[in-house]
Structure formats: C-alpha cells, structure tokens
Amino acid sequence: MIGHLLSQLIRLGGNLVLTRLLVPEMFGVMAIVNVLIMGVQMLSDFGLGQSIIQSKKGEEPNFVNTAWTLQIIRGWVLWLTICLLAALLWGANQYGLLVKEQVYAHPLLPWLMITVGFSAVIAGFNSMAIFQVNRNLMLGRLTLINLFAQIVSLMVIIAVAWKYQSIWALAVGGLASSFIDMTFSHKYLPGVKNKLHWDKTALKELFSFGKWIFLSSVIGFIANQGDRLILGGLLTVEMLGVYSIAFMLSNIPVTIVSQLSHKVLFPNFSRINRENPKQLKASLNRSKLWLSMLVMPVTGVLMSWSPFVVDYLYDERYVAAGWMMTLLLLRVATGCVLIPNALIMMAKGLPQYSTISASLKAIFLFVALPQVFNQFGVEEMILTVGLSGFISIPVMWFALIRHKLFSLKIEIYSIVLLIIGFIVGNYALKIWSYI
C-alpha cells in the first residue's frame, strides 16, 4: 500500500510538471494512444499471470515456462497488430476519412502507436517470477522495482519534455519503464528461471482458464476504457486532454483498490479457495471493510473538493477538469465496491460474472454516450460515464448471493462512508472559505 501511494504521488507530481511543459493537446493524443494499445493487449489476454496465481501448478517449471513462451509470442503478435492498426489509421487520414479536428486524425498518432506499442515486445520477455511473487504475497522487491522504473521513466520524460517540449517525451519514457521492469524482474525476483518450453498439458489448462479471462479482458477493456475511445470521436483534442487529466485524478482511489486487490486479495482468495473455501466469505468481508475505510471517505471528500483541487494544482487551461473529476468519481466509487467481488469470483474459477457485468456496462456506454452528447451536451455525457458503474452492481450482487458470499451490511457500510466523506468535504470547504 505504501508503495502504491508513493507511486501515485510520483505520478501526480510528474503530471503537474508536465502540464507546465506540454500543451493539453499532447495529453489527449497520448490518452488515445494508450487506450488503443491497451485495447489490442486485451484482445489477446488469456490470463497467463492469473493462471499462475490461481493454479495448483503455479510453481511447476513446465507450467511456468510454457506460460512464458506464450507470453513472448503474444508480445510480438501484439506489436505487429498495433503496427497494422497504425497503418490503417494513417491510410484513413491520408484519404480524408477522418475528421481533422478529432484526435484520430492527428498526424503523429500512428507513429506514436508504433513506438509506444513496442513496449509489448519488451513486456513479453518479463519474468514469470512477477506472478509467482504475487502468488506467494512476496511483494517487497516487486514494489521497489516498479517504483524505481517509474522514477527513472519520469526523469526521462521530464528531461526530454524540458529540452524539446515534444509529445515524444511521453513515448520514450514509457519504453524506458518497460525495459527496467523486464530486466530487473529476471535479475532480482525469486522464482522459476525462465526458458523456452512447450508442454501440451500446461497449454490445455492455461487455455481452459484463459478463455473466460480473454472474454472478461476484452469486454472489461471496452467497459472501463471505452469512454475515451468514444470521446475521442466526439471531443476536440484539447478537451480530450483536459478529460484525461480529470480521469487520472479521479482514478487514484480506484487504482489503489485495484492494485491492492490484484496483488494481495486475489492471491489470498485463491489460496483460501484451494485450502479452506469455507473461510472465503469472512475473508471477503474483512477485506472490503478495510478497503472501504481506506478509500471511500477519501473518495467522498474528493467529490466535493474536485474543482478546488484542480484550480489549485493546474492553470486555467484545465479548469473544466474540476467538474469532470466530480462526476467521474461516481464511477470510481462503484469500482471500489465491486473490484473485490469480481476477484473473489475469479479465485473460485468463475470469471464469467465479471464478463457479464462488463458486457452490460460496455453496451450502456456505446449506446448512451453518443445519444446523450447529441441531445444534451458534454456535461451530461460525462455524468453518464460516472453513472455507468452502477450497471454492474446487480450482476455481482447476484453472483455473491448465489455462492453465499454476500453481506448487505458491508455494502451499506461502504456507501455510508462515501456519504460521510462527501459531507465532511463540503463542511471543510465552507470553513476554508471563511478563513
């Protein structure tokens, strides 16, 4: 948790520096670059890491090395796919098929995709020890590696941005981070030493578990990142850059929950499911209780403070990010509640519930956002994004009830803490204004 909080502070500090060196348009372009690359990655995600964490064979060399071989192949396929997508965008722009004011027509977009996308090749060579230390909850070295890579990446980005004021600073920094993560994962993490291997029995298990992860990843990407894909075709490049700042700021609480849940709760739920399944409900309730106490009051305070925070940290070019952040925090609040629910079902080998809930959310976004934008405007469209998380609640509650893991008391407790945080934040702002 300390490592992730430091990571968020580094990210925020770097963002504050970069918004003084680069123009909003660059953040809008990079937001789409990252979303498109992430989309391609999700289209080939078979849950290799989750399989190692969840499977009883997660410590066996044949199983681990088969997963590593698949990961390398996937990395090269990803990059070639990204290059093809970049070529299609370049061709569409050359033939005037794209609207010039929108980000998809930006002349640097294809070249940035090809450059940043090469990080998929680098990441393909990451040691599978990353997932083995997650499996065994040995997170100290991994956290230090991630922090070191982030700091070096940020130093590279700021240096290039300061000298050239170019969007390429963001691309080069990302490649530096990927290279450090890959190199250090082999050198400093304990686990099976990776080598190329091909085991048919391991392949069968990996694909059996991975088919649901694949569907969940694809649909989950559309549900969680689809807003920026759609907004990229509706907003100007500058407004999309402002939105990306609001998204980054609002996403801090749910990122903390996601990191803790994936790196700590999921391995722990998986271990309990293997050894003593009757303890799953108690473990889920304890985990959600502590996560709610940690995150929900802070989220409520941020909802009331958002305009003040943006005005204090950024210049007038980003003022609209304040009200955007308030609305986007509604989506974040539901994510904080639902992420542990989805992971405990995955630990039980039932990722299909996440797939169904993400599907409903994705359909809602793609149907509702263009309609709301055309009939009302930008503010109502951002509010729709904020409310989209509520679509997933009935499915995940049904899953917990069906498998006797549901606790209404814990769910209400989370909501109450959010409301308390919002009220406290409002009163604090009033007191501040009097001072």
Structure tokens at 332: 């974040």
pLDDT beyond 70 at 216: no
- What whole-number distance in Å separates Cα of residue 166 and Cα of residue 173? 12
Neighbours of 36 (CB within 10 A): 24
**Range name among 66-70, 132-136, 341-345 with the lowest pLDDT average:** 132-136
DSSP 103: G
**Residue 340: which residues within 8 A CB-CB, separation 6 or more?**
257, 261, 265, 284, 287, 288, 291
Report the pLDDT value the prediction gives residue 212, as an integer from 0 to 100. 62
Angle of helix 352-375 versus helix 378-387 axis, rounded to 10? 170
- Label residue 433 by pLDDT band (50, 70, 90): confident
User: 66-89: per-residue pLDDT in tens?
Assistant: 989 999 998 999 899 999 999 999
Report the pLDDT value the prediction gives residue 261, as an integer from 0 to 100. 84
- Label residue 46 by pLDDT band (50, 70, 90): low
Side chain identity, residue 174: G
pLDDT more than 70, % of the chain: 96
Report the pLDDT value the prediction gives residue 151, as an integer from 0 to 100. 94
Total-model pTM: 0.75
Q: Which residue has the higher pLDDT, 25 or 328?
A: 328
Q: How far apart are the first and last CA of the chain?
A: 34
Share the mean pLDDT of the chain. 87
List the chain domain ranges: 1-210, 251-435
- Label residue 8 by pLDDT band (50, 70, 90): confident
pLDDT beyond 90 at 200: no
User: What are the helix and strand counts (H, E) for the chain?
Assistant: 19, 0
Q: Which residue has the higher pLDDT, 219 or 383?
A: 383
Q: Which residue has the higher pLDDT, 299 or 431?
A: 299
